[in-house]
Amino acid sequence: MRAAEIMADQIKKDIERDCLDYAEYFPDSTNNESGRPKDFLRLWDNWYATLERSEATKRKYRSAMDVYWLPIWKDRDFRYIPSLELQQAIAAVNWGSAKHRNGCITPLRGMYKTALKAGWIKDDPMLDVQHLKPKTGAPDPLEPLEMIKVLKWIKDNHGEVWEIHYGFRFYSGVRPGECYALLPSDADWTTDTFRVDKNQSEEGLRYLTKTGESRDIEFNEYSRGYFRRAMDLMKDNQETVFAHESGKRIATGNMPRKVWNAALKAEKIPHRSSYNTRHTCITMYIMSGTVIFWLANQMGNSAQVIERNYARWIRKVARDRESSKLKTYLDEIIP
C-alpha cells in the first residue's frame, strides 16, 4: 500500500508538470499511448516530419499553420478539439478563394488522419469538413482577329520565343503547365502527334496531368509549325521545347503572365487570364464544325464538359447550320 501511495504521488506530480509517461508506470495497459504527441503542436511536428511533398508545398503548409491554426490550438490536446470547433475556425476566415481554403485545411486533414491511423483518436473530426470546388470563370476566348493581333504584338515587343510560345498554346489548346513541360521527345512525327503526360507548376515537374491521364494530341497545321519553330530555336542547355529566352525551364507563370497582360493592354483587349488561349483553341475548333467527341479527347476533357462549358458556341454552330437548310431546300424547288 505504501509503494502504491508513493507511485500515486509521483504520477500526480508528473501530471502537474505535464511530463507523465504513462508507459513507465503501466507498461502492460491497453491504454498505453507511448509515443502519442501531447498537444496540437507536437502532432503537427510529427505529421510534418513524415511529409513527402515538394519544398514549395511544405512552405505553404507551414505558413498555413503559423498564420491560422497554431495561434488557436498550439497547446491544446488535439484529442479534445471537437469537429464543430474546427469547422467554426475554418468558417471564420475570409479565404478569398476556395483553392486557398482547401490548401490551408489540407494539413489539418493529414494530421488527424495520422492520429486516427496511430490509434490516438477514435474518430476523425475533419471527416465532415469538405473541400470546396474552386470556381472557374466562364470561357472568355479571343476572337481569331484578336488572337492574330496579340501574337503580332508579342513578336514585335517580346521576340519570337514568346510569340511561338503563345502561338502554340492558341492552336494546340494545351494547359499552361502542360506546355511548359513538353520535351522534344514528346513529339511523334510518324503519327503526327505529341504526348501530354507531364505538368510543370511552381511546385515542380509532375509526371501527371490535371485529369490524371496521358493523351496524344494530333498536330494541326498551325501547332505543328509552332512546335517545329520552337525546336529550331532550342539552345544547347535547353531541356523543354518552350522555355525562357535563356533556355531555362519555365517553372512559374510570372513571365508568361507579364507578356500576356502587356499584349492585351497594348491591343485594348479586355483583360482575361492567359488560360483563355485554351478556350480560344476549343471555340475555334467548335466554330469550324469539329466533332465534339474528337475535340474532347484532344483536350483531355469529357464530351459532357465540352458541351456544358462551351454550349454558347455549340448552339451558334447548330443554329447557323440548321437555319441554312431551309434556304438550301427552297433554292432547289423554287425557280
- Of 34, 31, 40, the closest CA to residue 111 belongs to 40
Q: What is the residue-level pLDDT of the chain in tens, covering all 335 positions?
A: 888 888 888 888 877 766 666 666 766 555 555 578 878 999 999 999 988 877 778 889 999 999 999 999 999 989 889 999 999 999 999 998 888 999 999 999 999 999 999 888 889 999 989 888 877 678 999 999 999 999 999 999 999 999 999 999 999 999 999 999 999 999 999 999 999 999 887 767 777 666 667 899 999 999 999 999 999 999 998 999 999 999 999 988 889 999 999 999 999 999 999 999 999 999 999 999 999 999 999 999 899 999 999 999 999 888 877 777 777 778 888 86
Distance CA(128)–CA(107), nearest Å, equals 15
Same domain, 22 and 90: no
**Reduced 3-state DSSP string for 52-77:** CCCHHHHHHHHHHHHHHHHHHHCCCC
Distance CA(63)–CA(41), nearest Å, equals 14
**Helix intervals (H) in 124-269:** 144-158, 160-172, 176-180, 221-232, 254-266
Q: Are the beta carbons of 57 and 110 closer than 8 angstroms?
A: no
DSSP state of 218: E
Same domain, 150 and 273: yes
How many angstroms separate the first and last alpha carbons of the chain? 119
Same domain, 240 and 148: yes
Does residue 163 lie within any of the structural domains?
yes
Q: What is the pLDDT of residue 34?
A: 56
Q: Tell me the residue range of the domain where 95 lies.
A: 35-135
Q: What is the pLDDT of residue 322?
A: 76
Q: What is the pLDDT of residue 40?
A: 95
Q: What is the pLDDT of residue 320?
A: 78
Does residue 305 lie within any of the structural domains?
no
Does residue 304 lie within any of the structural domains?
no
- In sequence order, the β-bridge partners of residue 249 are 243
Does residue 307 lie within any of the structural domains?
no
Q: What is the pLDDT of residue 84?
A: 94
Does residue 317 lie within any of the structural domains?
no
Q: What is the pLDDT of residue 67?
A: 96
